[in-house]
Amino acid sequence: MPDLAISYEDVVDAQERLDGVAHRTPTLTSMTADAIVGGQVFFKCENMQRMGAFKFRGAYNALALFTPEQKAAGAVAFSSGNHAQATALSARLLGMRAVLVMPNDAPGSKVAATRGYGGEVVLYDRYTENREEIGRRLADEQGLTLVPPYDHPHVMAGQGTAAVELFEDVGLLDLLLVPLGGGGLLSGCAVAAHALSPDCRVIGVEPEAGNDGQRSFRSGEIVHIETLKTIADGAQTLHLGNYTFPVIQQMVGDIVTVSDAELVEAMSFFASRMKLIVEPTGSLAAAAVLQKKIDTEGKRIGVLLSGGNVDLARFADLVKAAS
Ligand SMILES: *Cc1c(COP(=O)(O)O)cnc(C)c1O
pLDDT digits (tens, 9 = 90+) for 4-62: 999 999 999 999 999 999 999 999 999 999 999 999 999 999 999 999 999 999 999 99
What is the arithmetic mean of pLDDT over 273-281?
Answer: 97
From 281, 283, 305, the mutation candidate for ligand 1 (largest count of ligand atoms within 8 A of CB) is: 281
- Ligand 1 in reach of 180 Cβ (< 6 A): yes
Q: What rounded mean pLDDT belongs to the chain?
A: 95
Alpha carbons 176 and 190: distance in angstroms, whole number: 9
User: Cβ(165)–Cβ(306) under 8 Å?
Assistant: no
- The per-residue pLDDT for 205 is 98
Testing ligand 1's pocket by substitution, the residue of 44, 51, 55 carrying the most ligand atoms inside 8 A of its CB is 55
Mean pLDDT of 238-246: 96
Q: 305 pLDDT band (50/70/90 cuts)?
A: very high
What pLDDT, on the 0 to 100 scale, is given for residue 106? 80
Residue 97 φ/ψ, nearest 5 degrees: -80, 150
Q: With beta carbons less than 8 A apart as the criterion, state whether 290 and 37 touch.
A: yes
Q: Is 305 in the pocket of ligand 1 (CB under 6 A)?
A: no
Q: How far apart are CA 300 and CA 35, in angstroms?
A: 13
DSSP code per residue over 20-83: TTS----EE--HHHHHHHTSEEEEEEGGGSGGGBTHHHHHHHHHHT--HHHHHH-EEEE-SSHH
Provide CB contacts within 8 A for 154, sequence distance 6+: 10, 14, 58, 61, 62, 65
Measured between alpha carbons, how far is 95 from 153 in angstroms, rounded to an integer?
Answer: 22
pLDDT per residue over 49-104, tens digit each? 999 999 999 999 999 999 999 999 999 998 878 999 999 999 999 999 999 999 88
Which residues are part of the catalytic machinery?
Answer: 55, 80, 206, 210, 212, 306
Other C-beta atoms closer than 10 Å to the C-beta of 260 total 18
Rounded to whole angstroms, the Cα distance separating 155 from 266 reads 28
Mind listing the pLDDT tens digit for each residue in 108-143? 878 899 999 999 999 998 888 888 889 889 999 999
Distances (CA, A) of 118 to 88, 94, 114, 147: 6, 12, 7, 17
Q: What is the Å distance from ligand 1's center to 233 Cα?
A: 9
Q: Strands 300-305, 40-45: parallel, antiparallel or unpaired by DSSP?
A: parallel
**What are the angstrom distances between the C-alpha of 168 and each of 156, 164, 192, 285?**
19, 6, 11, 20
First to last CA, the chain: 49
- pLDDT value for 2: 61
Question: Does the pLDDT at position 1 exceed 60?
Answer: no
Query: pLDDT digit string (tens) for 149-186?
Result: 999 999 999 999 999 999 999 999 999 999 999 999 99
Residue 221 exposed, middle or buried by CB count within 10 Å (0-12, 13-18, 19+): exposed
